Amino acid sequence: DAQLNAFRANAANKGKVLDTGLWRYTRHPNYFGDACTWWGIWLIACETGLAGWISIIGPIFLTFTLTRWSGKPLLEKGMKKTRPEYADYVARTSGFFPLPPKSK
């Protein structure tokens, strides 16, 4: 959040795409972090037995929601409309998992 807040605070970045720091490796580092947290909680819950294993429904639903339904798709739809350079960013940057950027 600190990187995004600093980027937004600079008026020269209005209408631009943040593609440095964590955003160089994934278009949605916050969503990836949220998913990692929930998967980590699930791993801890597995120690409690069957109920913990059944709780896998939570992180699966959250990951699906963030990547396919409400989080990423809605945000990217708006970004494509308002930021012309976003298509290039999408072509070179992973959508969810942090990976090295693709070559141009």
Type of residue found at 47: E
pLDDT bin (cut points 50, 70, 90) of residue 87 is: very high
Backbone angles phi, psi at 15, to 5 degrees: 80, 0
pLDDT bin (cut points 50, 70, 90) of residue 47 is: very high
Mean predicted lDDT score pLDDT of the chain: 95
pLDDT at 99: 98
This prediction's pTM: 0.89
pLDDT at 103: 85
- The Cα–Cα gap between 55 and 21 comes to 33
Instruction: Please enumerate, as own/partner, the contacts of 35-44 that have beta carbons within 8 Å and a separation of 24 or more.
Output: 35/59, 35/62, 35/63, 35/66, 35/96, 38/62, 38/63, 39/63
Q: What 8-state DSSP symbol labels residue 100?
A: P
pLDDT at 1: 86
